[in-house]
Structure 1
C-alpha cells in the first residue's frame, strides 16, 4: 500500500496516528538541523518534518537531497504543528517522518509548479503533464468532470439514452472542412472525422430511440482562434415528437440545473429575442445581456444637417456608455484609435458628453446644436454623466464594429462579471445565407434544418426571407448551444438540397441513406448541441477554453507536446496508396 491517506485530508483529529503518504515534493526548506518538506498530491499538501533529535542521520541526509517534483513515499506520525498555517486545510498538523522512500527522482522542471508560474503558455503546453500538476489546471479539469457528470445525471433522469455514434464517417461538402482519414483496405477512398453526429442522431430518431444524448468529440479542419480547437466536445442531444417549445423547455431545465448545482445560482428567466432583433439591438447574434448599452439608430436625428459622413451613411448608430462622461480626452482618443484598428475597421467615432448639468458637448458641435444632441440622448437612452459613442457606415459593417466596441467598453468598465449569468434564447434565424464568392445560398446552420411552419413556399419567391425553425442558447455573450427542428420527410429534404445547389444525383450520393430512412416512418424531431468546452469555461468564470481541456492544441492546431501533426514514412504512405506531392 503506497498510502493510507492522501495529502489533503489530515486534520487535528489524526494527531498521534501512524500514516503513509505518497506524492510529489512541492518544495523543501533545509535549516541544517531541521528539514521541512511540502508533499503534494491531487488532494492537497501536507508538511513533513525531519529533525536531528528525532530523525536518523541517514534519513536526514536523504531528506536534504530531495529535489522539487521528486516522487516519494513516507511513513510517520501525525503531530501538531508548532506554527500553524490557517491558509492550508492541513495547516494544523505535520508528519514526523520515520521512513522515507524515493520512488522516482525528477529533473528540475522548466517552470515552477505553482499557482502563479513563471512559464509562458507555449512552454507549459509543451510540458502539459507538468502544467496539470498546477492547481489552476488541475482544478479546471476536475470542474469539467463535475459538469459532465451533472449533465449525464440530469439527462439520464429525464429519460435520455446515451448512444455512441461512429468516428469514421463519410465526408460531406457542407460546413467546415473535414479531417479525412485514408482507408488502407479500400484503396483511394477516405473516411472523414465527424464535425457532429448530426445525421446519425436523426437516424436514431427514425430508429425510435426517442431521447438521445452523447458527450462526443467532433472535428473541424478550419482556421483557429484562441477559443477554438480542431477537436472539441459537444453535449449532443435529439428528441422525437417535439416542437421548438419542447426543446427550449428541456434544455432550459438542464442549464438551470447546471447553474444551480455547479455555481449555486438560480435562474428563473430565459428571455427570447429574434435574430433580427439581436442584430438590431446588439449588432451580433450572441449578445451579452448582463449590461445595457443597446443600440440606438440615429439616422432620423442626424441626417438633416451638413455633416456628410452621417448623411452618406446607410446606418448611423450609437450606444450610451454609463458613467462614460468621466473618461478623459486621452481615454476617448484611445477608444477612437481602438475602433480604427484593422480588426475592427471603423473610419472613426463621434462622441457626445452628457454633462451633469443637462448640457451636451460633442466632437461635432460645428454641425449639431444642443437640441439635436438631446435627441441623440433620447434615442440611445443616455443619462447625465454618460457618454454617447456613434459609428456610421454600411449597416452590415457598422453593426459588428459597434458590437465589438460595446463589448470592449463593458470589459473596461467591469460590467462583464464572471459570477453573473444571463442566459438568452435567440430564435428565428434565416434559413439560408447568400455567399458572394460562390453566388449561391448556403444553409445558415445545416441542410437538415426545417423552415418555420408556413414559410416553405417562400423558397420559391424570396429564399433569403425564409426563417429557420432554429434556436441558439447564449450565455454571457457566448453561444453555448444551438439546434433546430429537423426536416423529417424526403420531399422537403430534397427541395432543401435543390435550393442549396445539389443536383438530385449529388444529394443521393451524399445523403441518400438519410432520405431513404425518411421513407420508413421518420417522426418529427429536433435537438440541440451544447459546446462542452465553452460551457465549462463560462461556468468556471473564464473566457478561454484551453485550461479546461487536458491536452489542447495551440493556435496553429499543433500539439507541441507530442509534436503533431507529423510526417509519416514512405512505407505507411505506400500502404495507403498515397504519395506526397510537395512542390518547392
Structure 2
C-alpha cells in the first residue's frame, strides 16, 4: 500500500536549504525549505505554530488555514518529535511577538506545505520543559534523551575538548598511535575484562585497563612523543565518576623530566578551556607534595577553590589545661584546627553530625568553638586561656561568626578527620558563596612508591609497578626502607577530583625486575606476565614518562554535569547495565561451545 497524505514516499530523500538556526531578517521574502523535529506545536484559533528543531537550533513555522489549508490540517495532527519537511516564505514576526531567546526570534516561516518524513510514536517522557523522569527511564530511551539540548551540548563540548587537545599535541610533535584492544591479562590493580579466544581454546585476551605497557614499548621503539584518545576497561564497582569502559587522554614522551610533562598538560588544558569555556587558566598550576597535601588539606585530592586549610596548633597548647588536648600531645599526637568562616550559626544537630563523622573515621570526637561577637562558646571554652585565644585568633584569622573545629589525635587521624570535615564545610559554603575561581587545578607530587598491605602481608605499588623511585631516596631504596621511598609520580587534581595520573618510568630492566621482586613476583611470574617488557627494556630503552587524563571526568566538570553518564553518549547505569540494549546478556549455547566455555552456578566463597 502507498503512504497517505503528505507522508514521505519510499525512496524519498528530503532536502533543505537552511538549518533551523540560520534564518535572520536578511532572509525575509526568501523561499526556504527546512527539515527537523517538531519541538513543540501550538494551535491558536485555526493557525498552527510549530517550532521546528534540528541539531543547530529552532525556527518558528506558521501554518495559516487560508494560505495552506491541507498542510494546516496535517499540522494540527502531527505529534511532537516527528520529523517534518516544510517549505514556505520567510517573514518578519509581528511587532511585539519577537523571541529574544532565539537566534531566529525575529523571523518566522509562513508555510506553504509540509511532509511528514517520519512520524513519532507516543513519547515515554516529555523531552522539553517540565520535570525529567528518573535516569533509568532516560537511559532506556537514550536516543530520545540525547535529543535534549543540554545532552547535545555536552557531546559537543566533549568533541571540542578532544579537538583542541589533538591540535595542541600535534603542534608539540606528538604522534597519535592506536594500541591494541585485545591484549594480555597482567592482573594488577582492578579486575580485567576477559575475552575468550575461539582459535586458542582455554586462552583469553584481556581488554586494556590502560595502554601502559604498549606506550612504554612505543618509547623503546623510538617514537619519542606519543598520544592516544584511548578506550580503557576496568571490571570494578561503579559510582558517579566511574564506568566499566571509559576514555583517557594518554601520552608518553622520551628524554623528558616531570616539569616538561606538566607544561604539555597545562598547555593543552589552557587551549581546551580557552576554546570551549572561554576561561583563561592561571599557569603554571600550583604544586603540592603528597605529604603537604595531606597535612594542609587532609587529602591527596584537595579542592583549592576555597581558601580553607588545616593548621597545626599543637605549640599553642603546649601548656594547655584542656585535658583532651594535653592527653593527645602526651601520647605523641597533634592538635590540628580549621576555621569554618562564617559558620558559627550551625545548629547543635549539625555539629553533632560532624562529631559523629569524626568518630566514624577513628577519632575520639571533635572539639569546636563558636565565635559569637567577642564571646567564644564551646564545651572547652572555659579551659582556653586568653593567651591561647589570642594565638588562635592570629593563626586562624578568627572573626566574629567563625566556627573553629579541632582534632586532637595522631597526625594521620587528625588530618583524615579534618580533611572530611573540610569537605563538608565547603559543601555548606557552596550553597551561599561562589568561589573566586571556578576551576582550581593542583599538581600532587612525590607520592610514596610503595604501600604495605597488612592483610595480604606484602608491598603494593602506590601507582603502578613501572614508576621510578625518587633519586633523592635511592639510598633508602637500597637499604630496603621502602615505606620512606618517594616515587617520581604525580596526579592532577581539579576541584577536588583526580583527573590525571602519571609518572616517570623505570627504563632499566634490572631495576624493573627488582621492583617486581619487592612486589612479590618471582622470576617465573615476571617472565610469564612481563617478559615482553623486560626484554624490550634491555634493547636501549630511553628514559621516559607520561600521564593519562580521564576525558569523561574532565568534560563532566567543564560542562557542569554531576555525573560522567551525562557526557557519554551511551553509558552503563550504576549496576553496569546498558538499559538501551539490555547488555550484558546471556549468549547462545552454541557460541559457548565454540569457545570451549561452560557456565556454572556462582557460589559465595
SS in 1 for 2:471: coil
**Which residue does the alignment assign to 1:53?**
66
- How many Å apart are 1:117 and its aligned residue? 3.8
Instruction: Tell which deviates more after alignment, 102-111 or 65-74.
Output: 102-111
- How many Å apart are 1:188 and its aligned residue? 0.8
**Which residue does the alignment assign to 1:401?**
417
The normalised TM-score by structure 2 is: 0.91
Query: Could you say if the C-alpha distance between residues 377 and 122 of structure 1 is closer, same or farther in structure 2, counting changes exceeding 3 Å?
Result: farther
Instruction: Tell which deviates more after alignment, 341-350 or 161-170.
Output: 341-350
Instruction: Tell which deviates more after alignment, 564-573 or 340-349.
Output: 340-349
Q: Is the contact made by 1:352 and 1:362 (CA closer than 8 Å) also made in structure 2?
A: yes
Query: Could you say if the C-alpha distance between residues 519 and 416 of structure 1 is closer, same or farther in structure 2, counting changes exceeding 3 Å?
Result: farther
Query: Could you say if the C-alpha distance between residues 115 and 307 of structure 1 is closer, same or farther in structure 2, counting changes exceeding 3 Å?
Result: farther
**Which residue does the alignment assign to 2:226?**
212
- How many Å apart are 1:222 and its aligned residue? 1.0
Q: Is the contact made by 1:33 and 1:52 (CA closer than 8 Å) also made in structure 2?
A: yes
Q: Is the contact made by 2:64 and 2:111 (CA closer than 8 Å) also made in structure 1?
A: no
**Which residue does the alignment assign to 1:265?**
279
User: How far apart, CA to CA, are the structure 2 residues paired with 1:508 and 1:490?
Assistant: 12
Per-residue CA deviation, residues 145-204 of structure 1 (Å, 9 max, x unaligned), is 000000000000111000000001111121111111111111111111101000000000
Instruction: Tell which deviates more after alignment, 63-72 or 448-457.
Output: 448-457
Match of 2:429 among 389, 405, 413: 413
Alignment of 1:353 with 2:370, yes or no, is yes
Query: Could you say if the C-alpha distance between residues 182 and 321 of structure 1 is closer, same or farther in structure 2, counting changes exceeding 3 Å?
Result: same
Query: Could you say if the C-alpha distance between residues 418 and 168 of structure 1 is closer, same or farther in structure 2, counting changes exceeding 3 Å?
Result: farther
Alignment of 1:452 with 2:466, yes or no, is no
- Structure 2 alignment gaps of length 5 or more: 1-13
Query: Could you say if the C-alpha distance between residues 418 and 49 of structure 1 is closer, same or farther in structure 2, counting changes exceeding 3 Å?
Result: farther
Q: After TM superposition, list the pairs within 5 Å mapping 1:297-312 onto structure 2.
A: 297-302=312-317, 304-308=320-324, 311-312=327-328
Match of 1:290 among 289, 305, 308: 305
- Structure 1 alignment gaps of length 5 or more: none
- How many Å apart are 1:350 and its aligned residue? 2.0
SS in 2 for 1:405: helix
Query: Could you say if the C-alpha distance between residues 116 and 468 of structure 1 is closer, same or farther in structure 2, counting changes exceeding 3 Å?
Result: farther
Matched residue pairs, number?
A: 579
Alignment of 1:481 with 2:500, yes or no, is yes
Q: Is the contact made by 2:165 and 2:272 (CA closer than 8 Å) also made in structure 1?
A: yes
Q: Is the contact made by 1:295 and 1:380 (CA closer than 8 Å) also made in structure 2?
A: no
User: How far apart, CA to CA, are the structure 2 residues paired with 1:260 and 1:371?
Assistant: 50
SS in 2 for 1:90: coil
**Which residue does the alignment assign to 2:43?**
30
Across the aligned residues of Structure 1 and Structure 2, the Cα RMSD in angstroms comes to 2.1
Query: Could you say if the C-alpha distance between residues 115 and 32 of structure 1 is closer, same or farther in structure 2, counting changes exceeding 3 Å?
Result: closer
Query: Could you say if the C-alpha distance between residues 245 and 60 of structure 1 is closer, same or farther in structure 2, counting changes exceeding 3 Å?
Result: closer
Q: After TM superposition, list the pairs within 5 Å mapping 1:167-566 onto structure 2.
A: 167-266=181-280, 267-302=282-317, 304-308=320-324, 311-312=327-328, 314-325=333-344, 327-328=345-346, 330=347, 332-338=348-354, 340-341=356-357, 345=361, 348-357=365-374, 359-414=375-430, 417=435, 420-459=438-477, 460-566=479-585
Per-residue CA deviation, residues 452-488 of structure 1 (Å, 9 max, x unaligned), is 1142332333101110011112222222211111000
Q: Is the contact made by 1:352 and 1:389 (CA closer than 8 Å) also made in structure 2?
A: yes
User: How far apart, CA to CA, are the structure 2 residues paired with 1:14 and 1:547?
Assistant: 37
Alignment of 1:72 with 2:87, yes or no, is no
Per-residue CA deviation, residues 410-464 of structure 1 (Å, 9 max, x unaligned), is 2221256496222211111100011122111110110000011142332333101
- How many Å apart are 1:395 and its aligned residue? 4.1
The normalised TM-score by structure 1 is: 0.94
User: How far apart, CA to CA, are the structure 1 residues paired with 2:563 and 2:416?
Assistant: 21
Query: Could you say if the C-alpha distance between residues 45 and 288 of structure 1 is closer, same or farther in structure 2, counting changes exceeding 3 Å?
Result: same
User: How far apart, CA to CA, are the structure 1 residues paired with 2:296 and 2:602?
Assistant: 50
Q: Is the contact made by 1:428 and 1:469 (CA closer than 8 Å) also made in structure 2?
A: yes
SS in 1 for 2:89: strand
Query: Could you say if the C-alpha distance between residues 578 and 343 of structure 1 is closer, same or farther in structure 2, counting changes exceeding 3 Å?
Result: farther
User: How far apart, CA to CA, are the structure 1 residues paired with 2:454 and 2:228?
Assistant: 36
SS in 2 for 1:74: strand
User: How far apart, CA to CA, are the structure 2 residues paired with 1:385 and 1:7?
Assistant: 54
